[in-house]
Amino acid sequence: MLLNGGALDGRRYLSPRTIAYMTADHIGSGVAVTPLYLPGPGDGFGLGFAVRRVDGEAPFVAPAGDYWWGGAGGTYFWVDPRTRLYTILMVQSPKQRVAHRSIIRNMVYAAVDK
């Protein structure tokens, strides 16, 4: 639904304008990016998830415009509107979750042919 501008299976749940608002950065440069900053370097924050502002600042493949979030136990998702790709990772790994997220992103983008 997020990737399709708010529609799923022929039904509209959110307007494209709402999706655009949700996936826009709402914090800008007003927040200091320190090692404790979640979501991380190059990311801002939309309504409910991190929003990638720029290419090249993450330790994994993360093009500007993608948005993502993860749970404390290791679950994780991201949506890349440029390539129309989304990924959902369902794991329970509280101590290794950050490493798994980087690995899965790099593996998925390495496997994509187009």
Query: How do strand 43-45 and strand 11-12 relate by DSSP bridges?
Result: unpaired
Global pTM reads 0.85
Question: Each residue of 84-101: pLDDT tens digit?
Answer: 999 999 989 888 888 888
Question: Each residue of 35-77: pLDDT tens digit?
Answer: 888 888 889 999 999 999 988 887 778 889 999 999 888 899 9
Question: Each residue of 11-32: pLDDT tens digit?
Answer: 999 999 999 999 999 988 788 8
